């Protein structure tokens, strides 16, 4: 099913579906992250772009963020659970013998590999690249972590290899640091709700 089919899907019963992820009133939270200036690109993503140049660069011109229909919501949850289920979590050092390597996982990978695979699979299902953004966060223990943000008409949602549930970004325990630009997937932008940089090696193009 392509995105056009997803977006024109009937919205009957959508109120019931949204109840699953709207437990808290949006009046207390921003539905979408606020992004700011360009920031350094994670070094792992820099080398990923060298290996997959067609996957990095200016995104296609898009209009409004895609509508989050009941069908689209089902696809997002399905992709998150499927990738989490078929890929084994290992560190880059354990699996590749390198401290930082971003790539598409075959059977095992680190957090950023999960995010890249989910992005690829959602694009294949018709979601636009500008709405699928790899995001760097800081976990409560201070460790860096990567997830996939999906931008929708209902706000920003997080796909995480540590949780099969798809949540609104503010429902996670993370401090959000930076993410891919929706205009250029090789560029990264600050997420303004946080103040400190996550300790992830980075370079500028």
The number of distinct structural domains making up the chain is: 1
Answer whether residue 18 is part of any domain. Answer: no
Answer whether residue 16 is part of any domain. Answer: no
Answer whether residue 166 is part of any domain. Answer: yes
Q: What is the rounded distance in angstroms from the CA atom of residue 18 to the CA atom of residue 69? A: 10
DSSP 8-state class, residue 56: S
Comparing C-alpha atoms, which of 68, 70, 55 is closest to residue 11? 70
Q: What is the CATH number of the domain that holds 92?
A: 3.10.620
Answer whether residue 104 is part of any domain. Answer: yes
3-state secondary structure of 196: coil
CB 115 within 8 A of CB 159: yes
Mapping DSSP onto H, E and C, the string for 148-162 reads EEEEECCEEEEEECC
Answer whether residue 177 is part of any domain. Answer: yes
Q: What is the rounded distance in angstroms from the CA atom of residue 137 to the CA atom of residue 142? A: 9
Which range marks the domain in which residue 131 is found? 26-203
What is the helix (H) or strand (E) element at residue 177, kind and residue range? strand 175-180
Answer whether residue 44 is part of any domain. Answer: yes
Say which residue the tokens 């994670």 belong to. 42
Answer whether residue 54 is part of any domain. Answer: yes
The answer to pTM > 0.85 is no
Q: What is the chain's pLDDT, residue by residue, as a tens digit (205 residues)?
A: 554 444 434 343 444 344 444 444 444 578 999 999 999 999 999 999 999 999 999 987 666 788 899 999 999 999 999 999 999 999 999 999 999 999 999 999 999 999 999 999 999 999 999 999 999 999 999 999 999 999 999 999 999 999 999 999 999 999 999 999 999 999 999 999 644 344 444 433 3
Answer whether residue 10 is part of any domain. Answer: no
């Amino acid at each position: 099913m392509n995105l056009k089919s997803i977006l024109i899907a009937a919205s009957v019963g959508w109120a019931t579906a949204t109840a699953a992820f709207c437990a808290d009133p949006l009046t207390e939270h921003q539905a979408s992250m606020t992004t700011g200036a360009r920031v350094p690109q994670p070094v792992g993503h820099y080398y990923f772009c060298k290996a997959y140049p067609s996957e990095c660069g200016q995104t296609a011109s898009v209009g409004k963020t895609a509508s989050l229909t009941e069908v689209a919501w089902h696809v997002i949850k399905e992709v998150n659970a499927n990738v989490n289920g078929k890929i084994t979590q290992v560190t880059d050092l354990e699996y590749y013998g390198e401290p930082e390597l971003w790539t598409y996982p075959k059977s095992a990978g680190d957090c950023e590999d999960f995010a890249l695979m989910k992005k690829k699979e959602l694009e294949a299902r018709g979601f636009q690249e500008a709405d699928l953004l790899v995001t760097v966060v800081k976990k409560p223990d201070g460790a860096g972590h990567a997830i996939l943000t999906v931008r929708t008409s209902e706000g920003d949602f997080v796909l995480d290899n540590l949780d099969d549930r798809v949540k609104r970004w503010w429902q996670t325990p993370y401090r959000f640091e930076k993410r891919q630009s929706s205009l250029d997937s090789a560029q990264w932008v600050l997420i303004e709700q946080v103040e400190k940089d996550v300790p992830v090696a980075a370079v500028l193009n």
